[in-house]
Amino acid sequence: MAAAGFRRTHTCGALRAGDVGAHVVLCGWVESRRDHGGLLFLDLRDRHGVTQLVFSPEVSRPALEGTERLRPESVVAIEGVVRARPEGTRNPKRSTGDIEVVVSAVQLLNESETPPFEIADETDAAPELRLRYRYLDLRRRPMQRNLEARHRLMKRIRAHLDAQGFLEIETPMLTKSTPEGARDYLVPSRVYPGAFFALPQSPQLFKQILMVAGFDRYFQIARCFRDEDLRANRQPEFTQLDLEMSFVTEQDVQEMVEGLLADLFETLKGVAIPRPFPRMTFDVAMSRYGSDKPDLRFDLPISDVGRVAKRTEFRVFRDALATGGMVAGLSVSGGGAALGRKGIDEAEAHVKSLGAKGLAWTRIEGETFAGGVARFLQGVAGDLRQEMDAADGDLLLFLADGRDLVLSALGDLRRWLARRLDLVRADGFRFLWVTDFPLFERNAADGSIQACHHPFTAPRPEDEGQLETDPLKVKARAYDVILNGEELGGGSIRIHRPDLQSRVFQVLGLDRERAEARFGFLMEALRYGAPPHGGIALGLDRMLMLLYGIDSIRDTIAFPKTARSSCLMTGAPSDVDPAQLKDLGLLLAQGAVGRQAEPGDR
């Protein structure tokens, strides 16, 4: 019951020409009002659509009393009769555009204050204002469509995986802190003073233990939490599709994921996804595209031109190579004219912001080079063109520095140029598997060895002998699925043998005692007959964003956080009563203060 005497019979998006003459009751929010002298028109909205209401003096006289209170965003219930719109007034853009409802009775269920921004499909309201009044922002049709799409995505995932023999199993939200990646969100225990739970960064260890328990195909749409400095399109709490399978190889997991993604894109978007997805090793991705998540919707590969550059007299090139560095470049087809000198200067400023010392350039004119560093390169023009697969009119851009800096800066410049020159095919979905990641890497801060993904990823069998002697050369049985230059998910074949897991812990500096304290429950489980297993986690927020072309990951989530991990609507995180801290056995450090107010906070 919406209110006494008013029981909704239809939604605001349901009525059609076939309903003409029906007596109906609608409930919703006033979207707009138009007073045409003797006639009053209201648009009534709910999440299903909009219906035009007509208050006519000959039919609606009792209902017209007090209609001045029916302001936009007020909640009302109406009774009336459906009629066809007069010829010439139909609205083909609206699903209910052939009809209108002549109101005979109305009840104001709740008045609304004037909203701080217009509830419209397009808005220029500041993101902070939209987050502060999220319940109003969610009334906008694009936001409601996003959350409806999220529902359909999850529904289809469950149906597909159920048909493939997977079981949906929930894992704990309060678990043990095992700090190996981002910082944990910690939850103090009242029952055990001084002890803490952690909110899960992922269900990784529990899903491995489910494999030990014999549940050979598991999935979960899991909430995960990471207390890290946020970047664009990251959130402190997020949703991922978690999968794990027993008795599988990398190919088995990849084929399963490809089938799922193809089903989702075809069912929800009407797009056929070619399979199998192409594969590319990490080393090739980095050397050719400067990224472990290359966007293949455009070409523009990186060319290592060191063999040619060392024969030039250009000191910048020769010095970089003499110190073990790299000279590499991009060949921009027709870019000389399209970019112009101003664009080249902007490109140089961009790579300098990434740490590069400068950007060398020249353009091909016939059989020679012109502009920039052309005078240093004329003697190797033919070889350089061949090395870079370049043609007349191309713009050649070069960086000379340490290998990591050159590749990462050129990878970033590649994406910058694609946006600047409109090279990206916006209508395409280009999937890719990146494989054979390093198992370990150096920590930039202290030089220690750390896991590239997580410490439960299995090394390639042929590399196990190098674990202790040359760990940085060991490749992992890891794989990431990439879509249009974004990491959609990552996974691996896991370590299922306790002896191998112990060796990996030791490489990471975890002696037996520390490993037992952090991961003793896992090690014990592995000793009781763990099967070979592997899996993957796919970011659902990001998948939804890419699937439907949504600009921000925040617009795929009902109640997201700001870039500083706060909720502007509720004011969380907030101070708590000292009595609560005492009950938990906690004492704030001297000088600690609560969260500082942000713009938009109450």
Residues with Cβ < 8 Å from 569, sequence gap 6 or more? 131, 132, 133, 134, 135, 559
Query: Where are any strands of DSSP class E within 462-532?
Result: 478-483, 486-493
pLDDT classification of 92: cutoffs 50, 70, 90: very high
* CA separation for the pair 54, 99 (Å, rounded): 11
Domains of the chain (ranges plus CATH)? 17-110 (2.40.50.140), 144-274+431-556 (3.30.930.10), 298-420 (3.30.1360.30)
Tens-place pLDDT, residues 337-358:
778 899 999 999 999 999 999 9
Share of the chain above pLDDT 90, in %: 87
Share of the chain above pLDDT 70, in %: 95
How confident is the model at residue 266, as a pLDDT?
A: 97
How confident is the model at residue 179, as a pLDDT?
A: 66
Residue carrying the six token digits 């090793």: 281
How confident is the model at residue 597, as a pLDDT?
A: 53
Nearest to 176 by CA among 216, 209, 135: 209
How confident is the model at residue 427, as a pLDDT?
A: 67
469: left (phi > 0), else alpha (psi -120 to 50), else beta? alpha
Tokens of 214: 């014999």
* CA separation for the pair 330, 453 (Å, rounded): 30
What length is written for the chain?
602
Residue 599 pLDDT exceeds 70: no
Q: Helix, strand, or coil here: 101?
A: strand
Mean pLDDT of 448-469: 96
Helices (H), 529-593: 540-548, 578-583
What φ, ψ does residue 74 adopt, rounded to 5°? -70, 150
Cβ-based burial of 523 (10 A; exposed 0-12, middle 13-18, buried ≥19) = middle
Q: Is the peptide bond before 276 cis (omega within 30 degrees of 0)?
A: yes
pLDDT classification of 600: cutoffs 50, 70, 90: very low
- Mean pLDDT, all residues of the chain: 93
How confident is the model at residue 4, as a pLDDT?
A: 52
Tokens of 166: 């997977």
Nearest to 167 by CA among 245, 263, 267: 245
Q: Helix, strand, or coil here: 26?
A: strand
How confident is the model at residue 398, as a pLDDT?
A: 98
Residue 592 pLDDT exceeds 80: no
What single letter denotes the amino acid at residue 494? R
> How far lies 129's CA from each of 135, 136, 338, 552, in Å?
11, 10, 39, 16
Tens-place pLDDT, residues 202-232:
999 999 999 999 999 999 999 999 998 766 6
pLDDT classification of 3: cutoffs 50, 70, 90: very low
Q: How many helices (H) and strands (E) in the chain? A: 17, 22
Tens-place pLDDT, residues 171-207:
999 999 986 667 899 999 999 999 999 999 999 999 9
The pairing of beta strand 99-110 with beta strand 75-84: antiparallel
**Partner residues linked to 52 by β-bridges:** 43
Q: Is the peptide bond before 573 cis (omega within 30 degrees of 0)?
A: yes
Residue 452 pLDDT exceeds 70: yes
Q: Helix, strand, or coil here: 360?
A: strand
